[in-house]
Amino acid sequence: MRFIPTELKDAHIIELEPREDNRGFFARVWAKDEFAEHGLVDRVVQMNLSYNRLAGTLRGMHFQHAPYAETKLVRCIRGAIYDVIIDLRPDSPTYKRWIGVTLTAANRLALYVPEGFAHGFQTLEDDTEVFYQVSQYYTPSAEGGVRYDDPAFGIEWPLPVTEMSEKDKRWPLFNG
C-alpha cells in the first residue's frame, strides 16, 4: 500500500500496490503493522457497508464525540462517490478546511479519516456501495454532525442532492 498524505493534517489517501498475473491481481487493502508504521490508528472494531440506490444521494457530515471518536478507512466497492472530510480539531493547522476525493470501484482508492474529522459522501452513480472500517463501535449517544451545505465550510458538491436522510438535513450549522 502507498500512503499519500493529503493537504489536511493526518488524513491520507491509500493506494493499492497490486501484484498482477494472468488471473488478475492480488493486493492488501489493510495491514495493521503498515498503518502503525505510518503513525495511523491501527485498530478496527467494526466494518460497515452502505448501499445507495441513486446518484446524488448524500450521507453526512458525521462524526462521533470523544471518548467514542473514530477513525475510518473508506472505500467505494461498487460505483463511485465524492468523499468529503472536514478537519474539526480546533488546534489543528488545517482546522475547518475540507477536501473531496473521488473514490470508485475502478480506482480502488481508500480515504483514511482521522479522529476529529466530519465525514460524508455523495454518490456519483446509481447502485453505489461504500465499505468502511472503523476504530470505534457505533455509539448513538456520541453521534454528531454538521450540515453538508454549511457556509462555514463552503463544500462544493458535484451533483444536485437527490436523496438525504431527515437526520442529515437537521444537523446544525457549525459554531466553532
Catalytic residue status for 132: yes
Active site residue 68: no
Tell me, yes or no, whether 174 lies in a domain: no
What is the reported pLDDT for 64?
Answer: 97
Res. 172: pLDDT tops 90: yes
Residue 99, in any domain of the structure? yes
- Separation in Å, CA 170 to CA 60, 144, 149: 11, 11, 11
C-alpha cell at 95: 482546522
Count Cβ atoms below 10 Å from residue 129 Cβ, excluding itself: 16
Specify if 53 maps to a domain: yes
Contact between 82 and 119 (Cβ < 8 Å): no
Q: What pLDDT, on a 0 to 100 scale, did the predictor assign at position 2? A: 98
Confidence of residue 124 (pLDDT cuts 50, 70, 90): very high
- Antiparallel, parallel or unpaired: β 12-15 and 24-26: unpaired
The verdict on residue 118 lying in a domain is yes
Mean pLDDT of the chain: 97
How many Å apart are CA 40 and CA 46, to the nearest integer? 17
User: Where in the sequence is the domain holding 132, given as residue range(s)?
Assistant: 2-18+28-144
- Select which of 12, 62, 82, 119 is catalytic: 62
Q: pTM to 2 decimals?
A: 0.96
Selected catalytic residue, list 68, 82, 112, 132: 132
What CATH number is attached to the domain comprising 137? 2.60.120.10
For the chain, how many structural domains are there in total? 1
